[in-house]
Structure 1
Amino acid sequence: MAHINLHNDLPGIRGLMEYSPETARPLNDLAEALLRADNSLSRGERELIATYVSSLNDCFFCQNVHGAIAGHYLNCDIPAIDAVKQDYLSAPLSAKMKALLGIAALVQKGGKQVTTAAITAATEAGATEKEIHDTVLIAAAFCMYNRYVDGMATWAPQNRQFYVDRAPQRAAEGYADYDLHK
């Protein structure tokens, strides 16, 4: 049960957004810009960064929502996403993606944890400055989203298939201007 009465039974951040529509709009617009706008990183790669940071923050709702969407975009299943969360260096990812996930993990610990060596490794693996920028911003934003969801003690469906079943719809609709009740 959430720490406050949200006056709805929606899970995770959806319940918080229904409760506070004035903050929902900018939060959704940020997610839309970070995860869906045109970018040299695919939508799946950006969702994977969000998933990885959410797993490091132990945010069950966010890591499962975004993990399912990443799986949808990347044409892989939950065990493949779980493998990335458990050991991205051993996962079948590009060197660039591994370097970007490494940067995301540093951001999750704290912004000052990001080192010149990590940035150099990402650049040498083929990451552009824009991709590095976006990785840092996605990681920072998901620390905020995760803390919002868990700091308010929202509920989350425990059946992970719930998230997989909804991923195609969420991928199609995006984050801006969608019906929270779907």
Structure 2
Amino acid sequence: MPHIDLPEGMPGITAGFSFRPETAKPMRELAHVLLHTSGNDGLSSADRELIASFVSSRNDCFFCKTSHGAAAAHLHEDGERVVNAVCAEYASAPISNKLKALLAIAEAVQIDGKRVTKDLVDKSKAGGATDTDIHDTVLIAAAFCMYNRYVDGLGTWQPRDPSAYVEMGKRMAERGYSGEPEPQK
């Protein structure tokens, strides 16, 4: 049950966005820049969505973990299998060593940004990460701590059936985050 009078039929962050469109705009723009990329250099959108889902799983935010997991599954050739593996134990997931090293950074940020060490950064660079990859990983992890706390702090409605997120994930993966949300039925 939401803690404030949020619009009905809008799950998770979409309800908060609808309640305050003026704060939604920059938050959507940030998510779009961080997650919806062409994938021509650096991290792909699939990798970025995996990081978002991973951080959200560590923060126990069902809506963000599941919606961004659905977007990552739509974009990734190994689909749900890789998302589940990353959220369960990224170190043994079927992903690149570069992404594993970046997820170690994301994990550190999720706990406390000061836990990002020179060693974690050096391991990421040794795995092929660029300064931009590291920057974006830190910012995705930090932003998703905020988004997760926003969703859960408002007590938003979060459908528990993962199938309710498949179409949402597809829409996010294909169109990004700058458009208006559609109410759920």
Percent identity for Structure 1 against Structure 2: 48
1:20-61 deviation digits (Å, cap 9, x = unpaired): 101010000000010013452100000000000000000000
Q: How far 1:79 sits from its partner (Å)?
A: 3.8
Pick from 117, 120, 125 the counterpart of residue 115 of structure 1.
117
Alignment check: 8 A CA contact 2:74 2:169 kept: yes
SS in 2 for 1:64: helix
Quote the residue 2:6 is aligned against. Answer: 6
Amino acid at match of 2:42: S
Structure-2-length-normalised TM-score:
0.94
Quote the residue 1:72 is aligned against. Answer: 74
C-alpha distance in 2, partners of 1:89/1:77?
A: 18
Q: How far 1:119 sits from its partner (Å)?
A: 0.3
1:60-82 deviation digits (Å, cap 9, x = unpaired): 00000000000100033334311
Quote the residue 2:63 is aligned against. Answer: 61
Q: Could you tell which deviates more after superposition, 161-170 or 56-65?
A: 161-170
| 1:35 aligned onto 2:35 | yes
| 1:19 aligned onto 2:15 | no
RMSD, matched Cα: 1.3
Alignment check: 8 A CA contact 2:9 2:183 kept: no
The within-5 A match list for 1:96-107 is 96-107=98-109
Alignment check: 8 A CA contact 2:102 2:124 kept: yes
1:132-169 deviation digits (Å, cap 9, x = unpaired): 00000000000000000001111111110111233222
C-alpha distance in 2, partners of 1:47/1:18?
A: 23
C-alpha distance in 1, partners of 2:165/2:174?
A: 14
SS in 1 for 2:178: coil
SS in 1 for 2:91: coil
Structure 1: give runs of 5+ residues left out of the alignment.
Answer: none
SS in 2 for 1:155: coil
The within-5 A match list for 1:76-87 is 76-87=78-89
Moved beyond 4 Å, runs of 4+: none
Q: Could you tell which deviates more after superposition, 108-117 or 68-77?
A: 68-77
Quote the residue 2:136 is aligned against. Answer: 134
